[in-house]
Structure 1
Amino acid sequence: MNKHIEKATQLRNATPMVNNCSQTILRVYAEELGLDENLAAGIAGNFGGGMKCGSTCGAITAGFMILGAKGIESPFAVNEFRRRIAEKHDGMTDCAELLRANAQKGGAKKPHCDNMIFEAIELIDELTKEAE
């Protein structure tokens, strides 16, 4: 298993779970970006729950932040990240829509959000490797 996904799994399985999707991803990459994990969680705090209003998924916004912090800022790469996630979810990228569609299929929230986090991490790592 990928070291970033292992750390995300640990964070998401902690009791009590205190990290939203965005915070989880920023904490996972904090050390390699030279950030304190608590600062990373603070920066990402308001991006969970689709910026706390059901808008763009926190895993996606965190992905944009990590890609930018790693120097990947080209419109092509950023759009590729968003497009590939959207393709896996019937074109949806907003938290509220993703959660509603998941619930309609009988899915629970936490496994859905965990999967969004893992998808984002895999794609961040892939795009980062391609950029090297």
Structure 2
Amino acid sequence: MRRCTTRSSARKGRCPLHPRQRDIIPLDSPFAIELRGSFSVEFACSSQITRKEMPMSKYITRAKELRAIVTPHYNCGQAAILPFAEEMGLPTDLVMRFAANFGGGMKTGALCGAVAGGVTVLALHGLDTPDVTAEYYARVREKHPESLDCKPLLARNAEAGNEKKPFCDGLVYECIEIAEDMLRKAGKIG
């Protein structure tokens, strides 16, 4: 078990992702991800966290580059899709246009753009069956069981006193990691 190291969460006395459990935060949460490190964390549960060392994914590395750019702004959905789309040879301007409304929960606080971006990546690679989509959503829900909608996700984050951008960035990286894992298992990427 790890104590929460984020100042705002420690001040509030609770983990922003698991508010019922005090002072505990999963190492793979958006608040604990080391944005410059080269590791991935495997989520077990808040009381049994494991960490495995591995090189950072080229898709996550590219998404981090995109999210660091101020102008033009890459919303969460665009940042999740573009690293894969670039590798497929899809034009950047096309991806920017078709994912323009993904940010802010489809501009309405609905489904998180990062979550939508991950499922779009699967579809771009031909993984578009209901079973695949259900598996993807289930894996995202393991980390965010209360909702996959932008508005409640951001509300919980704000209640915990945390900043929006690191939280959204972390969701982008989580969704990329899940999509990438599913694509590898399906033999769609190397």
* TM bucket normalised to smaller: over 0.9
CA distance in 1, matches of 2:108, 2:153: 13
Shift of 1:17: 5.7
**Unpaired runs of at least 5, structure 2:** 1-55
Q: Which amino acid aligns with 2:133?
A: V
CA distance in 2, matches of 1:117, 1:14: 15
Question: Is 1:46–2:101 an aligned residue pair?
Answer: yes
Taking the TM superposition and a 5 Å limit, the aligned residue runs for 1:70-109 are: 70-109=125-164
Q: Which amino acid aligns with 1:118?
A: Y
Question: Which deviates the most, 114-123 or 66-75?
Answer: 66-75
Bigger Rg over Cα: 2
Shift of 1:30: 1.6
Name the structure where helix makes up a greater proportion of residues: 1
Cα root mean square deviation, aligned: 1.2
Taking the TM superposition and a 5 Å limit, the aligned residue runs for 1:8-27 are: 8-16=63-71, 18-27=73-82
Q: Which secondary structure does the structure 1 equivalent of 2:147 belong to?
A: coil
Question: Which deviates the most, 117-126 or 23-32?
Answer: 23-32
TM-score, normalized by length of structure 1? 0.94
CA distance in 2, matches of 1:73, 1:91: 25
Whether contact under 8 Å (1:54, 1:96) holds in the other structure is yes
- Runs of 4+ in structure 1 displaced over 3 angstroms? none
Name the structure where strand makes up a greater proportion of residues: 2
CA distance in 1, matches of 2:98, 2:153: 23
Shift of 1:16: 3.5
Which of the residues 172, 175, 181 maps onto 1:120? 175
Instruction: Determine which structure has greater relative contact order: mean sequence separation of CA pairs < 8 Å that are 6+ residues apart, divided by chain length.
Output: 1
Q: What residue number does 2:33 align with?
A: none
Q: Which amino acid aligns with 1:101?
A: R
Q: What residue number does 1:31 align with?
A: 86
Deviations 1:57-94 (A, max 9, x none): 00111111110110111222211111111221133100
CA distance in 2, matches of 1:107, 1:17: 24
